[in-house]
Chains A and B, each alone.
Chain A
Amino acid sequence: MGFSVSGSAAILFVGAFIAFGMFHSATTNSFERVSEAEDDRAEDALAQQNTDLAIVTASHNATTDVLWVNTTNTGAESLSVGDTDLLVDNDYRTGWAANATVDGDNATDLWLPGETLAVAFDESTAPDRVKVVTETGVSATAEVIQRG
């Protein structure tokens, strides 16, 4: 009888050991994945809180047919020109980033706090509204002023 008790106990022990190993790795993996996601989300929320922008001028010149949109980064977060979106009368615009300037510099993609992003569009009819959306989802809208 001695052998059968200790032998089966050993088999059960090995089985329980393997089972615990699988369970442990699965739970720690899941926990790590979820807490990492929560960390990233908290970081994104912080970036969102630090983001603020203001449209300084949104004006359309009827003689030159140009719409100027100047937006200042009034927050504490550095933004990217490529990840910024612009809507004119709810029409999503693409391809403007190549001609956009940040404080006169058109090669940079960085839009740092305090700097002003200037964008020009060729617009034969004057639009009513513009909206600028940053990469964190914070946005600003303005009515277009007629000039010229």
Chain B
Amino acid sequence: MASVSASHLILFIASMIIAASVAGVLTDTVGRLSGAIDDQGLQVSEDVRTDVEIISDSGSDAVYNASGDDLVVVHLKNTGSETLSVDGTAIDVLLDGRYETDVTAALVDGADSWRPGEVARLTIDRSSDPLESGTDHRLKVVVNGDEEVFEFRS
């Protein structure tokens, strides 16, 4: 009878090890999945909360080249409920379909974080490729997935 209980013990230990490893893999996988869902929820809520508005006056002829140095200057107001970052990587700018790389963004009051209600100044340097005067232009600004279009005449 000793051989029966010894083989029972071996089978018992083996089943415990297998069950433990299955449970471990299950919790690990679900843990990773939960982390991903958490991150995505945060991302989606940030996207939903983000809203910006281009508040520049397109009726004024001072949008482009106001000071004679081929700069397009527009102002962006944070009208959402999310604090945004205002560095060049957070804001994408397309002028007439062309992705602009020479863009500087700064808050008008000099603060670091772009809180709801605050205004950022966006300066696009087109001195390398000046806009023709009297032509129509379309400026697109993308912040956190929120797209704004501003049309003006140079």
What is the interface residue range for chain B against chain A? 35 or more
Give the dominant DSSP class at B's interface. helix
- A46 close to chain B: CB less than 8 A: no
| Min CB–CB distance A40 → chain B (angstroms) | 5
A33 vs B43: C-alpha distance when bound (angstroms): 10
- A27 close to chain B: CB less than 8 A: yes
Query: Which of B16-24, B84-92, B93-101, B133-141 is near enough to bind chain A?
Result: B16-24
In the complex, chain A residues whose CB is within 8 Å of the CB of B83: none
Q: Tell me the A residues contacting B by CB distance below 8 Å.
A: 1, 3-5, 7-9, 11-12, 14-16, 18-20, 22-23, 25-27, 29-31, 33-34, 36-38, 40-41, 44, 48, 80, 83, 85, 87, 89-92, 94, 128-129, 131, 133, 135-137, 139, 141
In the complex, chain B residues whose CB is within 8 Å of the CB of A4: 8, 11-12, 14-16
In the complex, chain A residues whose CB is within 8 Å of the CB of B38: 26, 29-30
Establish whether residues B42 and A136, one from each chain, have CB atoms under 8 Å apart when the complex forms: no
Establish whether residues A34 and B73, one from each chain, have CB atoms under 8 Å apart when the complex forms: no
Q: Tell me the B residues contacting A by CB distance below 8 Å.
A: 8, 11-12, 14-16, 18-20, 22-24, 26-27, 29-31, 33-35, 37-38, 40-42, 44-46, 48-49, 51, 53, 55-57, 59-60, 62-63, 66, 73, 75, 77, 79-81, 108-109, 117, 119, 121
In the complex, chain B residues whose CB is within 8 Å of the CB of A16: 23, 26
In the complex, chain A residues whose CB is within 8 Å of the CB of B11: 1, 4
Establish whether residues A137 and B23, one from each chain, have CB atoms under 8 Å apart when the complex forms: no
Establish whether residues A34 and B80, one from each chain, have CB atoms under 8 Å apart when the complex forms: no
Establish whether residues A11 and B19, one from each chain, have CB atoms under 8 Å apart when the complex forms: yes
In the complex, chain A residues whose CB is within 8 Å of the CB of B51: 41, 44, 137
Establish whether residues B79 and A135, one from each chain, have CB atoms under 8 Å apart when the complex forms: yes
Establish whether residues A141 and B59, one from each chain, have CB atoms under 8 Å apart when the complex forms: yes
Most buried by A among B40, B48, B53: B48
